[in-house]
Amino acid sequence: MTNLSLEQKIGQLFILGFSGAMFRPDHPIVQDINKRNLGGVIIFDRFLAASRDTNNIVNAKQLSLLIASLQEQADEPLLVAVDQEGGQVNRFRKERGFPVTPAAMKLGKSSDLNLTIESAQQTARMLRNVGVNLNLAPVVDLNVYKENPIIGKYGRSFSADPAIVTAHSRAWIIEHRQQGILSCLKHFPGHGSSHTDSHLGFVDITKTWKDTELLPYQHLISENQADSIMLGHLFNRNFDDQYPATLSRATIQTLVRQRLQFEGVVISDDMQMKAITGHYGLEDACCKALAAGVDLLIIGNNLNYDPFILTKVRDAIFRGIDEGTITEAIIEEAWSRIQDLKKSIPLPTRHGKQ
């Protein structure tokens, strides 16, 4: 599409979760794609907001049809994202016919990269076969605090050694790219030293964070191995004494853009996590994140479900533009980066809108 309106460009700045393993034409996600030019969707196995054990993923055939049907609704190809790290962060369950891969911690303990390469190949092929094109992995957090309730406890980090984390992450990314799958380095600037969980509330890493936590980002960016970077909802007073990374212009511009020289897409962690909603409110936080320089906002719509959330956030962004807290230039810059990211993946075969 060319000559998009400002509203259509705003729609491209979001990855949105939705309910159900199939949909009818009046499903809210179809309306968001058709009427609001939604940029992407995120897939979940469970529907936490309704305490349901099944959501978007039932089996491979069903999911492939679901994603293909969503793509056919779109004027622009959708980013289809998932958190598929392996281990306990695993949306594709064995009991639903999907292959299982080890957690990063187990992979990082190996003396070579063979198991990581095999796991990444298996994961990327599985994602390609069902139509997912963006894996929100690998985790490049350093396993600094072993009892970390959301990283160390679940074995999500390859190692405390930045060289080991970099090597395994590089192997992961390369195998995904060979299957046409984008990756995402997370959780910037580093969640591995935290003593609390950003899903549950405010996380302050000021006293625990070390500069070495940036090394995997630095190396992978310099090697052109970073498709995208996810910001964690992490507060560090040394970077910004008011906002966590997701809402911090100082963090994004000084660290990500200037120090690390990253020019690609910066993605938010789920904006519905309590580290954000418990302090700022979702709509206001989305506006602050865009103003700070986040390109692509994830609203999982899974911790809490609101079928009209995209419309509400879009209206808040227009208010921000009217009030001068967000500029059209910021929207344009983010939209342009997202278009470049989408151009880097093979487009799905579609028989619907062109």
Residue 323 to residues 189, 243, 259, 275, 279, Cα–Cα distance (Å): 30, 20, 31, 26, 22
pLDDT at 354: 32
In the block, residue with structure tokens 């809108």 = 353
CATH code of the domain made up of 25-41+48-55+76-343: 3.20.20.300
Give the C-alpha separation, 145 to 190, whole Å. Answer: 11
Give the C-alpha separation, 289 to 284, whole Å. Answer: 9
pLDDT at 349: 39
Residue 222 to residues 102, 170, 219, 230, Cα–Cα distance (Å): 28, 12, 5, 17
Give the C-alpha separation, 237 to 309, whole Å. Answer: 31
pLDDT at 199: 79
51: helix, strand or coil = coil
Taking alpha carbons only, the member of 247, 261, 253, 170 closest to residue 218 is 261
Give the C-alpha separation, 248 to 184, whole Å. Answer: 19
pLDDT at 3: 85
Query: What residue segments make up the domains of the chain, in order of their start?
Result: 25-41+48-55+76-343
Total-model pTM: 0.95
Give the C-alpha separation, 122 to 199, whole Å. Answer: 29
Residue 108 CA to chain centroid, in angstroms?
Answer: 22
- Catalytic center residues: 199, 269
Residue 135: how many CA atoms within 13 Å on its side-chain side? 32
pLDDT at 185: 98
- Tell me the pLDDT tens digit for each residue of 124-141: 999 999 999 999 999 999
Integer-rounded Cα Rg, in Å, for the chain is: 19
What residues in the chain have per-residue pLDDT under 50?
A: 1, 348-354
